[in-house]
Every structure is written in C-alpha cells, then in structure tokens.
Amino acid sequence: MTLWSLSALAGSGHGVHDFHKNITENQSCEHAKLKATKDLIENELGVYISVNNIMSCINDNCEFNSFKWIFYPALVTNLKFNTVITESDGERMCEAFVEGDVKDLKEHYQYDHDFSVIMSQSGIYHHNDYMEIEIYGRSKQFYKIFLVNKDAKMIYPNDFQDEGNDSFITVPNSLYTLRVQKEQNPNSLIVVVSSQEPFGMGKAYNFEDFTETLMYLKSEGYRLRMYNFVVK
C-alpha cells in the first residue's frame, strides 16, 4: 500500500532557538523550525521523538540548504512556517510557528526491515581521515549510501563494490578506500537507504531534490538512517 493514501491530522507546533556570536539569525531560525516540526508531530500523535539535522550555511545563507529529519515513522506535509525574532533577559532568539499535516506510519512499520549503522569514528573526522561504514540488518536488504554536504552523492554501490542482498556489509571493501575531505561547510551527513527489494536511485542530487526523494521513499516504506559528522 502507498502510505501517501493514509489519512492526515492537521495541527500546529512551536519552537524556539537563541542566537549569539557562534550562531546567526538564519541558523537560529532553521533550528527553531525543526523544533516546531518536532512539536507538531508530538502534539498530534502524542509521542516523544528525536531529530537529526544538518546545516549547510554559506555566507550566513541557510534558507535553501537546511536538511532536517525526524526519527519517527511519520510523514509531515504542507508545512507553513512563520518566524519572529524576540528578546528575553537580554538574549535574542528566533521563534518559529508551523502548521501542517501529519500521517502516522507506525502501524505499517516492519521491524524485520530495521538495520543499524556503525561509523569508524563518532561525530568528528579530520581532513583526509579514512572512513569505514558497517551496516547490520535484521534481514537481507539492498542498500544505497549517500554523502551529503552541499549536495548528495552516492558512495555505495560504486564501480569497485556492487550492491548485494545482504544482512551485513562493510563500505569500503578491500578494493578501495574512502577518505573525508574538508569542505567550505564542515558539517556533513551520511544517509543510508534500504529496501528488501532491489531499487534504483540517482548517483547525485541537489539538496532540494534529495530531500524530496527521501520524503517519497519514506512514504513508500523504505528505511532511512542518517549520521551527522564534522570535518576539522
């Protein structure tokens, strides 16, 4: 069944994030929007959820380069944001208000499709460090792995490592290496997409198209995992 067809709950949410010398107004408002979206889901579904996000900010412009993901089987659509800058006790902050529709996908969640990912380092890499990714699935699955910074590029499968139907894989294999490079934006993301059936994806996406593709795949029951890291 296509999960787009499930009924949606209309609701609203609110989030606040302060800003100072280490975080700009634009960055603060992007964080506030994420908190507001989280609040929207919690309000409508009555659950507590965790979130993951990556900020790709160049010259203080984050508006079109903010990648956000919420770790709960829910689909959020038709989001409308409003942000205001406020001040309290001498501290400035961004308040975000959101309205949107929420679809609860939990009843359609297949736990034998779960998998976990172990990165060779936790959160912080240095320029030219080696990277290794291990994936442990509860069942045999097909995987795609993307490196996301200013855009998204597929790093598995590739010319040296074919895609297999496996419950465990290590990327890279013995035929090649992965080394991280410091970009203008030091924040990056590894995204793993899985399915129990073979599936196709493009080898590269711009930020907006990749976000839309992941939203569609999530609605179709594909499983996603995301891991932030910083390159120093």
pLDDT tens digits, residue range 130-162?
999 999 998 899 999 999 888 899 999 999 999
pLDDT band (50, 70, 90) for residue 112? low
Q: How confident is the model at residue 2 (pLDDT cuts 50, 70, 90)?
A: very low
Domain ranges of the chain: 3-107, 110-231
Place of tokens 């659950």: 47
* Residue 45 pLDDT exceeds 80: no
How much is the average pLDDT of 172-192?
88
pLDDT of residue 21: 62
Question: Could you say which of 3.30.870, 2.60.120, 2.60.40, 3.30.70 is the CATH number of the domain covering 110-231?
Answer: 2.60.40
Q: What is the pLDDT of residue 177?
A: 96
**Token code pair at residue 83:** 């942000």
Dist CA 16 CA 9 (whole Å): 23
Residue 54 has pLDDT above 70, yes or no: no
Determine the pLDDT at residue 65.
41
Residues 6+ apart with CB under 8 A from 66: 30, 33, 53, 54, 55, 56
Q: Specify the pTM.
A: 0.67
